[in-house]
Amino acid sequence: MPSPFPGMDPWLELPGVFPDLHSSLIYLLREAINAELPDGYLATTTQLVWVDDELKREPDVAAYGPEHRPDGEVSGELFAEEGMVAVAADPIAEPWDEPYLEILSGDGDRLVTALEILSLANKRSGDNGRTSYLQKQNEFRLGNVNLVEIDLLRGGTHTTAIPLPRLRQVAPRYDYHVCVTVVGDPTRFEVKTFTLADRMPTIVIPLDPGVAPVKVSLQPLLDRAYDTGRYSRLARYSSKHPDPPLTPEQQAWAEGILREKGVLA
């Protein structure tokens, strides 16, 4: 069964759920776009990679052999005899990657359009993931590459290419939005905003000048991801509140829907 909500489900924004939803939507979006692209184009996934100082990995000792020291290995006692003090090292920061989509020319040698679904790290102020994302965003805009950005997160720092004051001029009240930057005018943006009560929109994906764009509806992709990912279990509607919290009016609306659907008593 699909999400109980008509559009984006705010419980899917939870940190324990959204990363999986992000990946699911990327691959479903690739499938949907490839079904609509004209001859000469293809959509493929690629990775944005950065080192996240908050994502640490403890060494897996079991992967390196038994606990006993082989003959000849220097023990800590020998250092101590010379007055050296053992200091524990910080866990190792590891590279982190997130998928995004590229539409390439038929030979795969020219990037035409990039499609991003913003992640939690993309919108976390000061995070290496956000820094890397903004650098890549600028490269796309200055490199004659169309850019489609889908923001399904109410929280975090504004990150899409359109400046926040300009977005609020055209949409004073919104929860989510799509921002499209088209080749030829990096200072003009095509924007679609929507709220919790709205069904998710159809997005227009530009290709080369003179080539008709393709259109993909986001709502069926979310519905499919919700079913295949079993997000009804992960959302835990009865025991968790959305993160970030809803306004009192939104919370009352959401609880009413959940009761109507039999999710809450």
CB atoms within 10 A of CB 190: 14
Q: What's the token pair of residue 40? A: 């000469």
Instruction: Give every CB contact of residue 139 below 8 A, 6+ residues apart in sequence.
Output: 145
The reply to whether 89 falls in a domain is no
Whether residue 86 is contained in a domain is answered as no
Helix (H) or strand (E) holding 19: helix 18-36
pLDDT of residue 265: 75
Sign of CA dihedral 12, 15, 16, 19: positive
Cross-strand partners of 150 = 117, 178
Buried b or exposed e, range 220-257, using 16+ CB within 10 angstroms: ebbebbbeebebbebbebeeeebbeebeeebeeebeeb
**What does the pLDDT read at residue 99?**
87
pLDDT of 39 reads: 94
In the prediction, which pLDDT does 256 show?
A: 95
- Output the pTM of the full model: 0.82
Placement of tokens 């968790």 in the chain = 240
Give the chain's residues under pLDDT 70: 48-76, 78-79, 82-83, 85-97
Identify whether 67 is part of a domain. Answer: no
pLDDT at 74: 57
Q: Are 246 and 10 in contact (CB under 8 A)?
A: yes
What is the number of structural domains in the chain? 1
Q: Decide if 2 is inside a domain.
A: no
Tokens (6 digits) for 98: 């997130």
What's the confidence (pLDDT) of residue 185?
A: 82
Residue 90 inside a domain? The answer is: no
Owning domain of residue 234: 10-58+97-260
- Please report the beta strands in 134-199, taking only residues with DSSP state E, as ranges in sequence order: 146-151, 176-181, 189-194
Write down the mean pLDDT value for the chain.
85
Residue 163 domain-assigned (yes or no): yes
The pLDDT of residue 128 is: 81
pLDDT of residue 151: 98
Answer yes or no: is 150 within a domain. yes
Q: Distance (Å, rounded) from C-alpha 77 to C-alpha 153?
A: 52
Any alpha helices (H) in 72-217, and if so which ranges? 76-81, 128-142, 164-170
pLDDT at 194: 97
Let me know if residue 1 belongs to a domain. Answer: no
Among 3, 120, 101, 118, CA closest to 46: 101
CA distance 57 to 167: 39
So what's the pLDDT on residue 80?
72
The three-class DSSP label of residue 116 is strand
